[in-house]
Structure 1
Amino acid sequence: MPYAPTNGIQLYYETHGEPGGRPMLLVMGLGAQMTLWEPDFCEMLAREGFYVIRFDNRDVGLSTKIEGGPQPDLAKALAGDHSTASYTLWDMADDAVGLLDHLGIERAHIAGASMGGMIVQCIAIRHPERVRSMTSIMSTTGNPNVGQPQPEAMAALLAPPPERREEAIEQGLRTWTTIGSPAYPADPAELRARIAADYDRCFYPEGTARQLVAILATGDRTEGLARVRVPTLVIHGEADPLVTLTGGQATAEAIPGARLLTFPGMGHDLPRALWPEFVRAIAELAREADGG
């Protein structure tokens, strides 16, 4: 089993493509396992010459669960009291850099979705020497005045965790229907199968709560992003109800020279129909960053 010791924990990871290719580290979002970077998407990147690394963040999937710390109190965190945070996104950024160390990769292209976008932003701020290019997808800067969720999306995010497998699958279907892309609806049978498979792989709502408190405890990255000089692409859905478009716009405005690429009808997911556009833009950024 491929585990990497990093930052005092163990990260589960998998790779696609040839080790001699351009390293591409993919970082997933809140409560999301690496499986949301679907193998077909990773293979599309590999065909563009990338050596793709996907992994489970701490507190999700097959990676280390951070137990024994304070019980995460979301109400306190939303009110500005972050005393129940077990870690921040800066720690999660250090986890990812430790994975690169384990793989012997000095500098990588990095891409993150949602919370993963926040984590790659932290990597670019704290470890700029490790980054060739950055792609921040459906994410935001941490500024509380931008990217805020619509009420129905916030309700889905904060719904109490289910107690049984079938309840978890039904809740997952409701959540993805709420936050997904209205112009690119997922096939219900495929969506149900994916949710069920992820549940069977790992169901750990306590970790999601700790990650959410970590997001709130990390705060606004706008000032740090202004110092980022790595080539940057910001991708965002114009119909995203969970991290609304102003989050992506603010990210692109904060980073000097960043390019903003938005898609009408895209919500808070990675619709298969748009994968060729995502891959094309990411590969173009990487070629520019690497000088060809």
Structure 2
Amino acid sequence: MPEIVSNGLTLHYDTFGDSRDPAVLLVMGLGTQMIAWRTEFCESLASLGLHVIRFDNRDVGLSTKIHGAPLPSIPRTLMLRPWGFARSAYTLSDMARDAVGVLDGLSIRAAHVVGVSMGGMIAQTLAIEHRSRTLSLTSVMSSPGDYRLPPPTHAARTMLLRPAPRSREQAIDQVVALFRVIGSPKYFDEARVRERAGESYDRSSYRLGTARQLDAILASRPRSPALRELRIAATIVHGALDPLVPIAHGLATAKAIPGADLHVIDDLAHDLPEPKWPELVRAISRTIERAA
């Protein structure tokens, strides 16, 4: 697997398609490895004449783990964030700089950026703080981080705060339980979830990184004021059934970005089921066409 050194970190990545084609950078969500952007999905995008890049965020997958950083304290961060005093081992801005580092390592001047969940927050931050590097923005089941937006459901919040698993079997069971709560009911496939959870566990398992990423999300300031300043082709995709990042977050993101398209998927929760891949690919493709 190829790797790039950026911000003193080693970031693992993968590409699809011709490097001479327009670049699409895929940014994955909380505690989730780049392989959640399934190969078939990436190939589908690349078949449209796009150079598709996926990578492991810091603290997940095969990228650098931030060993030695202070242990995250979610209650402390939640208590301090309204006053701007929350501190975390790193921020979404740091993670956006990692993404820019991937582009630098591949000698890509600018890319169409697609982010899911936390990846959407990183993509928004990249568009805000690195405007010349961002050709378009597709933010999927994500949030502008405004404090007054509704929280996850109690069941979804409970899933995020469970103790770390002590074995491969327990880890897989936890992922299955998670997607029973946050996944799209119409498309839930336990056998497939188990298979992919096992694949991810065998590639890398590091729950402390997930906690630090969550801390980075919670310590970040709301992005809506800065999103209002963007002049970029943007599409906001959100599931009407999302219990983890309720649809109000998607509506707020679309409202904040001037001219943004809003695409609501009625039977989608907080996952990327295969039957919805063509719809997502079309949304990304239309955003790229608008940017052109």
TM range (shorter): over 0.9
- Measured against aligned partners, the alpha-carbon deviations of 1:90-112 in whole angstroms (never above 9, x if no partner) come to 00000000110110100100000
Matched, 1:60 2:60: yes
Separation (CA, whole Å) in 1 of partners of 2:291 and 2:117: 23
1:228 shift after superposition: 1.0
Separation (CA, whole Å) in 2 of partners of 1:68 and 1:244: 34
Equivalent residue runs for 1:124-203 within 5 Å? 124-185=127-188, 187-203=189-205
Residue equivalent to 1:15: 15
Partner AA of 2:163 in structure 1 = P
Partner AA of 2:24 in structure 1 = M
Matched, 1:206 2:208: yes
Separation (CA, whole Å) in 2 of partners of 1:2 and 1:157: 31
Q: Which runs of no fewer than 5 residues in structure 2 stay unpaired?
A: none
Separation (CA, whole Å) in 2 of partners of 1:253 and 1:148: 19
- Measured against aligned partners, the alpha-carbon deviations of 1:185-219 in whole angstroms (never above 9, x if no partner) come to 2x211110100110111110000010000001112
Please give the TM-score of this superposition, normalised by the length of structure 1. 0.97
Residue equivalent to 2:32: 32
Separation (CA, whole Å) in 1 of partners of 2:269 and 2:79: 27
Asked whether the equivalents of residues 136 and 234 of structure 2 are also in contact (C-alpha less than 8 Å), the reply is yes
Matched, 1:95 2:89: no
1:184 shift after superposition: 2.1
1:147 shift after superposition: 4.7
Residue equivalent to 2:260: 258
Separation (CA, whole Å) in 1 of partners of 2:193 and 2:203: 15
Asked whether the equivalents of residues 89 and 218 of structure 1 are also in contact (C-alpha less than 8 Å), the reply is yes
- Tell me the secondary structure at the aligned position of residue 10 of structure 1: strand
| Residues 245 and 191 of structure 1, relative CA distance in 2, 3 Å threshold | same
Residue equivalent to 1:246: 248
Asked whether the equivalents of residues 148 and 247 of structure 1 are also in contact (C-alpha less than 8 Å), the reply is no
- Measured against aligned partners, the alpha-carbon deviations of 1:6-39 in whole angstroms (never above 9, x if no partner) come to 1121110000111111100000000000011000
1:77 shift after superposition: 1.0
- Measured against aligned partners, the alpha-carbon deviations of 1:144-193 in whole angstroms (never above 9, x if no partner) come to 222521110111111111111111111110001110012222x2111101
Separation (CA, whole Å) in 2 of partners of 1:196 and 1:14: 20
Separation (CA, whole Å) in 2 of partners of 1:189 and 1:271: 13
- Measured against aligned partners, the alpha-carbon deviations of 1:51-73 in whole angstroms (never above 9, x if no partner) come to 00000000000000111121111
Over the residues paired in the alignment, what is the CA RMSD in angstroms? 1.1
Separation (CA, whole Å) in 1 of partners of 2:198 and 2:80: 35
Asked whether the equivalents of residues 237 and 265 of structure 1 are also in contact (C-alpha less than 8 Å), the reply is yes
- Tell me the secondary structure at the aligned position of residue 183 of structure 1: helix
Separation (CA, whole Å) in 2 of partners of 1:121 and 1:3: 24
Separation (CA, whole Å) in 2 of partners of 1:189 and 1:70: 37
Partner AA of 1:232 in structure 2 = A
Separation (CA, whole Å) in 2 of partners of 1:106 and 1:147: 37
Asked whether the equivalents of residues 80 and 86 of structure 2 are also in contact (C-alpha less than 8 Å), the reply is no
Separation (CA, whole Å) in 1 of partners of 2:291 and 2:152: 33
Asked whether the equivalents of residues 73 and 84 of structure 1 are also in contact (C-alpha less than 8 Å), the reply is no
Identity %: 49
Asked whether the equivalents of residues 16 and 43 of structure 1 are also in contact (C-alpha less than 8 Å), the reply is yes
Match of 1:85 among 68, 88, 92: 88
Separation (CA, whole Å) in 1 of partners of 2:171 and 2:91: 27
Greater shift in the superposed pair: 126-135 or 138-147: 138-147
Greater shift in the superposed pair: 54-63 or 83-92: 83-92
Greater shift in the superposed pair: 209-218 or 77-86: 77-86
- Tell me the secondary structure at the aligned position of residue 95 of structure 1: helix
